[in-house]
Amino acid sequence: MQNNPEIEQILESAVDIAHAQKHEYVITEHVLLALIRHEPFRRVLEKFGVEVTLFDQELLSYINSLTSMVKDPATQPKKTNALERVFNRALTQVLFTGRRHISTIDLMVAMLAETNSHAHYFLMKYGIKKQEFVDFWQSNYGPVATGMSDTHATQILDEHCTNLTRLAQEDRLEPMIGRSAELEEMITVLARRFKANVLMVGDPGDRLP
């Protein structure tokens, strides 16, 4: 997966916003404010019909009200689990569409899916709905890819997974000793047409149930 300097710049701006507020955490709303202040994306929102200046002011007022997150003396803010979830969702979208980096539209769509957040509330309030915004983006800025080639799929799998079949073919797997019966049982289960699931529990070396 390739880094996108545009997304890195937005995230750095979000960290700066959180640090200026002496906030202990970087939250989704910090990133949303940085995103709508990012000039290329701001122009997209204005063309979509969003009152970006009012949006900015109201979102900033909300962020200013988060006094419970203030940590004095200020420390380097950390990303929350909710923000990690937003980026993971955006990354998943990228992987499924065969692209190599997260873009601003991926980040916005991921935020729209975070329905239990103030970011989602503000997006809805200012008329930014997922399907309408994606349709607008595709009409004006080019379609978002919806498929991937075999080459892309292989590259993504190689990047994020371990090819156990290849390791076995190259005789690079550790041998399994004293587990012939358990191995036979697993093969039998995996060969079933239905309910072909195997669950192994316990520490290494324990006897399989």
What is the spatial distance between Cα 123 and Cα 119, in angstroms, rounded to a whole number?
Answer: 6
- Kindly give, in sequence order, each residue whose CB lies less than 8 Å from that of residue 79, ignoring residues fewer than 6 positions away: 25, 26
- Tell me: the pLDDT tens digits for 172-201? 888 877 778 888 888 898 888 888 888 877
Burial (0-12, 13-18, 19+ Cβ within 10 Å), 182: middle
Neighbours of 158 (CB within 10 A): 11
For residue 14, pLDDT beyond 90: yes
For residue 157, pLDDT beyond 80: no
* Residue 205 confidence (pLDDT): 60
Q: In which region does residue 80 sit, left (phi positive, over 0), alpha (psi from -120 to 50) or beta (all else)?
A: beta
Look at the block and give the residue holding tokens 């529990």. 201
* Residue 155 confidence (pLDDT): 64
As a whole number of Å, the end-to-end CA separation of the chain is: 39
Give residue 142's pLDDT band: very low, low, confident or very high (50, 70, 90): low
Report yes or no: 90 and 105 within 8 Å, Cβ to Cβ.
Answer: no
Mean pLDDT of 75-96: 90
The answer, as to whether pTM is greater than 0.85, is: no
For residue 209, pLDDT beyond 70: no
Tokens at 101, concatenated: 């980096």
* Residue 64 confidence (pLDDT): 95
Give the type of residue at 37: R
Mean pLDDT of 155-159: 67
Mean pLDDT of 91-106: 85
Report yes or no: 14 and 78 within 8 Å, Cβ to Cβ.
Answer: no
* Phi, psi of 70, rounded to the nearest 5 degrees: -70, 130
Tokens at 22, concatenated: 């002496």
* Cα-only R_g, the chain: 23
Rounded to an integer, what is the distance from CA 165 to the centroid of its chain?
Answer: 29
User: What residues does 23 pair with on adjacent strands?
Assistant: 70
Report all structural domains of the chain as residue ranges with CATH numbers, in order of start.
Answer: 5-141 (1.10.1780.10)
